[in-house]
Structure 1
């Protein structure tokens, strides 16, 4: 007999988000193996495809991560030849990350990956857009709770 005071794991929003995130990253894994990057490295590339010449702190902020977790991702991407790190002429202490031609060339492949993931979701673009909006609003609410 189920205890109504102690619902099962499927009744928790956190589990729905966690298990869906696991499924999503597993769907990405074989697609990203083709270009030799991990999911977190791919997210760094996505940020750079949107805007070049960013510092580690800026990349970390856009990915809602701390800079210490982004640095090894960028180092590995640099080792793969997809990004370059150069000193900021305005502040020698800062490193600026830019895509190399090889990293820029991955942009077309990323569109194929995105299309494959969208197809796997089996949902219209409008529904996915609404889901993204709802999740971003949820994250903003949760982040706001940290500050208060």
Structure 2
């Protein structure tokens, strides 16, 4: 019996994760476009719907991004009226990010997005939960061995 080719593309975890991420994010594009959101902007909004207001640092930590990477996303979301960026009144070094009423109202429309994506994937809710849990394990394992941004 021959040994599997350990360097075959289809045997690589990194390849499977990359393709799955790219194709899954592509499913979001036609759903998010009418809302004027890109997928990274949608993730920002999700974090703000969980906790509003937030500091730039708190938001960057939640999204596992550098504040400098997050800033252009916030500027665009502010330009369309979904949020405001202001210096904190208690710590002028901190930038406070707050949803506008328009940003809060968008949440009601966005509540249909997870179900629409799940339908597109044609996977059971249980399968999607198991997949998310497995990916969370991968995130935790890789975070333990690589520094966070």
Q: Which TM bucket (shorter chain)? A: over 0.9
Match for residue 87 of structure 1? 87
In the aligned structure 1, how far is the partner of 2:112 from the partner of 2:143? 32
Match for residue 11 of structure 2? 11
Match for residue 77 of structure 1? 77
1:25 deviates by 1.1
In the aligned structure 1, how far is the partner of 2:123 from the partner of 2:5? 34
In the aligned structure 2, how far is the partner of 1:117 from the partner of 1:107? 16
Structure 2 segments unaligned to the other structure (5+ residues)? none
Match for residue 103 of structure 1? 103
1:4 deviates by 4.5
1:30 deviates by 1.1
Segment of structure 1 superposing worse, 14-23 or 107-116: 107-116
In the aligned structure 2, how far is the partner of 1:106 from the partner of 1:63? 20
Secondary structure of the residue aligned to 1:34 is: helix
Secondary structure of the residue aligned to 1:91 is: coil
Detail structure 1 runs of 4+ shifted over 2 Å in the superposition: 2-8
Match for residue 113 of structure 1? 113
Does residue 67 of the first structure (1) align with residue 75 of the second (2)?
Answer: no
TM-score with structure 2 setting the length = 0.92
| 1:22-57 C-alpha deviation (Å, 9 max, x unpaired) | 111111011111011111011000000011011111
Structure 1 segments unaligned to the other structure (5+ residues)? none
In the aligned structure 2, how far is the partner of 1:51 from the partner of 1:117? 23
In the aligned structure 2, how far is the partner of 1:4 from the partner of 1:20? 22
In the aligned structure 1, how far is the partner of 2:86 from the partner of 2:4? 58
1:3 deviates by 9.0
TM-score with structure 1 setting the length = 0.92
Number of residue pairs matched?
Answer: 146
Q: Alignment RMSD, CA only?
A: 1.6
